[in-house]
Chain A
Amino acid sequence: MQWETVIGLEIHAQLATKTKIFSGASTAFGSEPNTQACLVSLGMPGVLPVFNREAAKMAVKFSSAIGAELGRRSVFARKNYFYPDLPKGYQISQFELPIVGMGKVEIVQENGDVKVVGVTRAHLEEDAGKSLHENFHGMTGIDLNRAGIPLLEIVSEPDIRSAKEAVAYARKIHQIVRYLGICDGNMQEGSFRCDANVSVRPMGQEKLGTRAELKNINSFRFLERAINIEVDRQIDLIESGGEVVQETRLYDSVKDETRSMRSKEEANDYRYFPDPDLLPVELDDDFIADAVAEIPELPDARCKRFVDELGLSLQDAGVLTSSREMADYFETASVGNDAKIAANWVMGEVSAVLNKQGLDIADCPVSAEMLGGMLKRIGDNTISGKIAKDVFEAMWNGEGSADEIIEARGLKQITDSGAIEAIVDEVLAANGKQVENYRNADPDKQPKMLGFFVGQVMKASQGKANPQQVNALLKERLG
């Protein structure tokens, strides 16, 4: 039988506020356990939540970025369940009236076609603490530093039809929240978490199959793996006469399997009700306008501009706009320079060294301005592209700006035709045999043979001769 996969994603993005959603406790990552767990985070009796303005602002930005209907009036509700990392016995979330309503994002499928994925809603809620299960003589350790950090839970429509599409959608949301600066997107540290609701149904069937919810996915690669494994499991199960049970399953990346989370098998019955400690949130025009005014150019628009105005290919523009930092770096470096050459440098040399050293572009020792300065010297023929690689390496090693390095190392390209002629003649005189071979060779083979002489001339000039001039002159002399 032909099966169709149906996927919806729930993404929890930790908002990059300085303080928690309902208290003035710090949200800094990596602090000593419980040093950022104030009385509100601890759920002490008698404390009251006070809502963080910045969290509302960030939600407004997200709403605008996905063209959603903003919930100008939203209501906090209590989601009741018992777990030690949630000391109050309820999580403050939003239920009937979320802050972000229906919106959509576009993803590019494998075949290059654009697909629209609906975003059902996004709501604000507080994160829970962390449980540490090892090494406490049979007890569980609880760290409540994370409790109360604002989350934006972004829920997609069940529009996704494959693991690859799920990854494309998750990456798109990731890109948007990072561009907006509302989430750092760090999946390892848990700032950006994906749960996948996965079901299968016979191709052509309208009714949705029973879904399983996959949790514990902390990379895009694992998202793809976990979905594919779960889809195979469900199909095998149904084809061998079994039935899919609605449940939460954990993805285990070591064993590469999903398994049932027995502790949550009990039917979820959260008994939501409006939180009497919090009034409805009402956002006025000024508040919304202020938030929207802070939204930078978003990736899709920027990508289109790079294609339309700078003449880059769609693929290159896509790579360069994958993160805001990279797009900013490229744009700064390309000012006054050939955009295509700048793009090749950023995607080539710069990215290669960054990858090799495990650095982010924000930490690149060669600033965008420095790279731009070097590109100018390529543009005005002061140095060749080949010499530029040496200059780049020297800039990386902190030897100064391109101009300083070119000066100090005497790397200025030789464009004086007299000087080049002298070197060419010298090389030809020293390689009489090769000259003779060249002249007797089949004209088809000559271009390849010319490379030898070009190489010799470049070597003799220590790479500084202008390659175009060398080529032209050699052809003239040998012809």
Chain B
Amino acid sequence: MSLDQSDIKKIAHLARLAVDETETAELSDALTRILGLVDTMEQVDTSGVEPMAHPLHMAQRMREDVVTETNLRDKVQQIAPAAENGLYLVPKVIE
């Protein structure tokens, strides 16, 4: 499988990465090589192997349902670029 420059643009957009035109050719080559590696790995017979969800062979530990956090708003909002009336302000998003 190989990626063309429009794939790179799409991936960059989904990840909100600013990739300029001069980089796309190089990136499509690099990513295509990675996919080539994946193709090689796919030739291994994995029937009977359970997909790995996590490299550690352990189960998730669970927490009791008890409130442990306190109100950090004033502290945290000091480092926010913009806040007002307790709300974080961001550039306008319209539905």
* A residues apposed to B, CB below 8 Å: 17-19, 23-26, 32-39, 42, 50-56, 75, 80, 82-84, 89, 96-97, 131-133, 136, 138-144, 250, 261, 263, 269, 271, 274, 276, 278-282
Contacts and interface: CB of A to CB of B under 8 A. Distances in A.
B63 A263 contact: no
B67 A140 contact: no
Given A24-B66, A279-B60, A38 B72 contact: yes
B73 A140 contact: no
B51, B56, B72, most chain A CB atoms within 10 A: B72
Contacts of A35: 71, 73, 86
B59 interface: yes
Contact of A280 (B60, B66, B82): B60
B72 A139 contact: no
Given A97-B53, A271-B14, A279-B56, A140 B63 contact: no
B95 A261 contact: yes
27 contacts: A18-B66, A19-B65, A25-B67, A25-B69, A33-B87, A34-B77, A35-B71, A36-B69, A37-B72, A37-B73, A50-B61, A51-B60, A53-B64, A53-B65, A75-B53, A84-B93, A89-B16, A131-B93, A133-B92, A140-B93, A141-B84, A141-B89, A143-B86, A276-B54, A279-B58, A279-B60, A282-B59
B57 to A, nearest CB: 9
Given A23-B69, A37-B73, A52-B65, 17 more contacts: A18-B65, A34-B87, A35-B86, A36-B71, A37-B72, A37-B76, A42-B76, A52-B63, A54-B65, A80-B14, A138-B92, A139-B89, A139-B91, A140-B93, A144-B88, A278-B54, A280-B53
Nearest to B72: A38
Interface residues on B, range: 35 or more
Contacts of B1: none
A263 B69 contact: no
B68 interface: yes
Given A24-B63, A52-B63, A142 B88 contact: yes
Contacts of A144: 88
Contacts, number: 132
A141 B87 contact: yes
Interface string B4-23: 00000000001010000000
B64 to A, nearest CB: 6
B78 to A, nearest CB: 13
Contacts of B58: 279
Contacts of B56: 279
B95 A250 contact: yes
A50 B88 contact: no
A19 B14 contact: no
Contacts of A96: 51
